[in-house]
Amino acid sequence: MRVLLIAPPGAGKGTQGTLIASHFDSLHIATGDLLREHVAHQTPLGLQVSEKLNRGELVPDEIVLEMVREAMAQAKQADRGYVLDGMPRTIGQARALYAIAAELDMLADVSLFLQVSDDEVVRRLLARALIEHRTDDTEEVIRRRLALYHDVTHPIVDWYRERGILVSVNAMRPAEDVGREILSVLEVMRAMVEHVPSDARRAIDLTGLGSAFGV
């Protein structure tokens, strides 16, 4: 399976990304980990990242996208899928990723959207900040991050919905329950992906299933 993860901070991307990758023996491409790995090994891309960070600059999309391209190429060479965690965060990144995946013949099968309310995100991140002694994660800062997330994410979600590969999941529940639901639907979809043309697919919204069954 080839999966893109979209979620606000605190929704559980890392947890669910690790679970999906392990279950399907796919490569977990976490962009933050990729950056740290390239810097640690002083690869040509890692040196560019270090140079930018040393100057107090943001790492440009082009550098991160090139790292993702390399990881996708490795997944293809190993005949494995991938779970991309950390990108896309903007519609521009989404379109750039599409071009890279199309070039490699590694287009995503699913764009997995983990839905969590703003209040729940704030609660989770404040709890994490307390445990990890992160004094910079105040409610004001978290809500600013959420406002930015909503501004740039809705176009991405709509774009994947139009492509018919969006799967929306209610991530307000315990991580174990969310993970079981995700793996169940991805198992069903894995059997269908090879037989349903991409232009005939439809987005799937699982967020109402709990209320439908009285949960």
Task: Identify the CA nearest to 206 among candidates 135, 115, 87, 120.
Answer: 115
Main-chain phi, psi angles of 26, to 5 degrees? -105, 160
Phi, psi angle pair for 214, to nearest 5°: 75, 20
Let me know: does 117 contact 16? Beta carbons within 8 Å: no
**Would you give the distance in Å from CA 98 to the centre of its chain?**
14
Q: What are the tokens at 114? A: 């983990």
Task: Compute the C-alpha angle 38/43/44, nearest 5°.
Answer: 120
Could you report the per-residue pLDDT of 32-90, keeping only the tens digit for each? 888 889 888 899 988 988 888 788 777 888 989 999 999 999 999 999 999 999 899 89
| pTM, rounded to two decimals | 0.85
Write out the two tokens for 145: 């991050």
DSSP code, position 198: G
The predicted pLDDT at position 52 comes to: 81
- CATH class for the domain made up of 2-30+80-208: alpha beta
Please report the sign of the dihedral spanned by the C-alpha atoms of residue 87, residue 93, residue 94, residue 97.
negative
Mean predicted confidence (pLDDT) in 24-30: 95
Tokens of 52: 């930018």
Name the pairing type of β-strands 2-6 and 204-205.
unpaired
Q: What is the pLDDT of residue 126?
A: 94
Residue 12 structure tokens: 């559980």
pLDDT category, 212, cuts 50, 70, 90? very low
Helix pair angle (44-54, 61-77), 10° resolution: 160
Q: What pLDDT, on the 0 to 100 scale, is given for residue 196?
A: 66
What pLDDT digit, counting tens, does each position of 141-171 carry?
999 989 989 998 888 999 999 988 999 999 9
CA distance linking residue 157 with residue 3, whole number of Å: 14
Is residue 198 very low, low, confident or very high in pLDDT (cuts 50, 70, 90)? low
Q: What count of other Cβ atoms lies within 10 Å of the Cβ of residue 112?
A: 28
